[in-house]
Structure 1
Amino acid sequence: METKERLVVYDCDIGTDDAWGLAMMLRAEELPALPGGRSSKVVAITTVQGNTDVVNGTLNALRILHTLDRRDVPVFKGCADPIVPRTWAYTNRFHGVDGLNDVGNYPEVSLEQELQPEHAVNAMYRLANQHPGQVDFLLCGPLTNFANCINLYGQAFLDMIGGVYMLGGNMYAKGNVTKSAEFNFMMDPEAAHITLERVPRPALVVPWETCIDGDFGITLDWRLNDLGSVDHPFVQLLTRVERSMLEPRGFQKWISCDALLTATYLFPGEMIADQREYYATVELNGTHTRGQMVLDHLRGRKVDAIHGKKSNVRIVRRLNGEPFRTIIAWTGFLKQADIAQLIV
């Protein structure tokens, strides 16, 4: 039976989008209750290669914790490389080399003093076994850590996990790092394939199209100049980073995909407008389609038409914009944000 207190492993490749999601998770711990009377607690931040290398991503996790005055949250460094070495070089670093667009003037952190000595993969296994069925995994980056935990510990790990929540993949082959592959899946296609094949219950997936095609009504101007006016170290750091990233590229809208996943995890009834179960896998060999998440649209929901496999994902096809605006304003410490209206 699922307990009301959920423990969360936040697996990330920080990145501004991961940073917003992490801040949201930590702010949620301050609420008296989440919808349905649940509560959540981040028991580990695990880092992985992706937006930047794993060392920079780990430094960024610690930096974000410093801005939020939450140095009590343990950080575990994870996998530096994908399961199969890439034959291509990822040179279009959207988040800069260091993951925070190289803006500098960060909080001073120390890997030697603040980083947990245990590897992220081992921490995932240990926490799941210490709290059977209670640990949920929010997977906001490439799935390398989670897949390696499956490979290393197998059913002894899978039998103990709670829910699995992923930001990544695509419904209709719309890519953002190649013409048909989404970034998190393309940065480690084998890890995504392993994860989808082995999850014991359908994982909730927020794919790329749901993020970019959704109407969330948040302009970049509001993000930088209204929310960005909040006098808080976290908001001020993220505003410096996002101003340097997004204004020169001419962005008009602001979205944060990992924050969308996190909001969906915390407030599912309020955020999810439409979802459907599918059997999903990942293309590993296609010349043009490696890394693409492939859904069985022939049977739609329950069983893969060719292989007879049951659904393994709940694809969130549409999200509600109005609650997300409230949640992100509250995450950014905007005083007029009324988060209480979302808690029933």
Structure 2
Amino acid sequence: MPIPLLIDTDTAADDCFALLVGLLDPRADLLAITMVAGNVGFDQQVDNAFLTVGLAGRLGQVPVHLGARDPLVRPWLSAEDVHGDGVGGLKRPDDGHEASAEHAVDAMIRLAREHKGELRIVAIGPLTNLALAVQKDPEFVSNVGSLFVMGGSINARGNITPAAEYNIYVDPEAADIVFSAGFSDVVVISWDPLTITDALFDQGRIDRIAALDTPLSRFFVRANQATFDFDTAVGLAGSSHCDSLSVLLALDRSLSTAERRYRLEVETQGTLTRGATVFDWASDDNNVTAIETVDGERFFDYMLGMLATTPVIAQSAA
């Protein structure tokens, strides 16, 4: 049976590719895409999501729900310096499709109730929508089957500040609420060390994707260019693909080659450490499982195979 899946996203670059995993993998029953303030302007994120759904040939099949346009208590901080507009200047076609009238938080709560104990939520942006769902519905936490969170760093190396990863930094209060809520199964895909060790695509890998010359591979190369340029400029060996990895892990945990239980706490007050994630390896009160290593070659091969496919509608959309 396909896995009931919800992806909560701030759609730009790798978020788009993560959506493709959820949209195209036959193991996934993608029930909803929920939007949260993050990488780029909110309306741009929504356009990016619909563009991606169209490329996958799934318009009208997977609803897009609009969620929080701002963090809980802080001003929004973009990552447009990293991602540009998130899709390499591509414009969403005037396809007539609109976002659902149901708010993202209400959709989360409803789907968790309808698929109690089975729904897997993959959060690849700030955790604002999830925190609001926790606050709104006392049963939400127990209804969710598994929660996969792309965020944080196990060794405290950040990508927005020296101490903090972007998704947690943007709304640390929301992250604190989510990690303290008592979800039965929380899996964390960290930016460091996991992503920048096992989920980087160097120029050779990008060239292999480009050589496919399919609508999806052309989209990947174009939407990924700004992120690739930024990541390599700051010393990484290629572009990072933590969001795609997170969705794939929600569908296929066998990709993980090492994981460990931790007590995870979020710093909300520190002047220099706002948004830092503290992974306590010695705690007897663990609340997350952190994926520590994955089979990076197998991950890339999966992405290469997915991008080699040509969804029917994608031919006229790229």
Provide the TM-score with structure 1 as the length reference.
Answer: 0.83
Aligned to 2:107: 123
1:118–1:91: structure 2 CA closer, same or farther, 3 Å change rule? Answer: closer
Q: Does 1:316 align with 2:301?
A: no
1:82 to 71, 75, 78: 71
2:155 to 153, 172, 183: 172
Q: CA RMSD in A?
A: 2.2
Shift of 1:92: 5.9
Aligned to 2:313: none
Per-residue CA deviation, residues 129-188 of structure 1 (Å, 9 max, x unaligned), is: 12211211000110011111111112x212211110010011111100011000000011
2:17 to 17, 20, 33: 20
Q: How does 1:228-243 map to 2 (within 5 A)?
A: 228-243=210-225
Matches of 1:217 and 1:142, distance apart in 2 = 21
Identity of aligned residues (%): 29
Matches of 2:13 and 2:4, distance apart in 1 = 23
Aligned partners of 2:4 and 2:30 also within 8 Å: yes
- After TM superposition, the runs of 4+ consecutive aligned structure 1 residues lying more than 3 A away are 88-92, 210-213, 215-218, 247-252
Matches of 1:9 and 1:160, distance apart in 2 = 13
Aligned partners of 1:128 and 1:135 also within 8 Å: yes
Aligned partners of 2:154 and 2:279 also within 8 Å: yes
Per-residue CA deviation, residues 27-65 of structure 1 (Å, 9 max, x unaligned), is: 212xxxxxxxxx420000001111112221111100101
Letter of the 1:204 counterpart? V
1:61–1:286: structure 2 CA closer, same or farther, 3 Å change rule? Answer: same
Shift of 1:293: 0.9
Shift of 1:81: 0.3
* Structure number with bigger Rg: 1
Aligned partners of 1:221 and 1:252 also within 8 Å: no
Shift of 1:210: 3.2
Aligned partners of 1:67 and 1:107 also within 8 Å: no
SS at match of 2:197: coil
1:282–1:109: structure 2 CA closer, same or farther, 3 Å change rule? Answer: farther
Aligned partners of 2:200 and 2:237 also within 8 Å: no
Q: How does 1:1-344 map to 2 (within 5 A)?
A: 4-29=1-26, 39-71=27-59, 72-86=61-75, 90=78, 93-96=81-84, 98-100=85-87, 103-109=88-94, 113-154=97-138, 156-215=139-198, 218-223=201-206, 225-247=207-229, 250=233, 252-269=237-254, 271-299=255-283, 303=284, 310-333=285-308
SS at match of 2:54: helix
Unaligned ranges ≥5, structure 1: 30-38, 304-309, 336-344
Aligned to 2:314: none
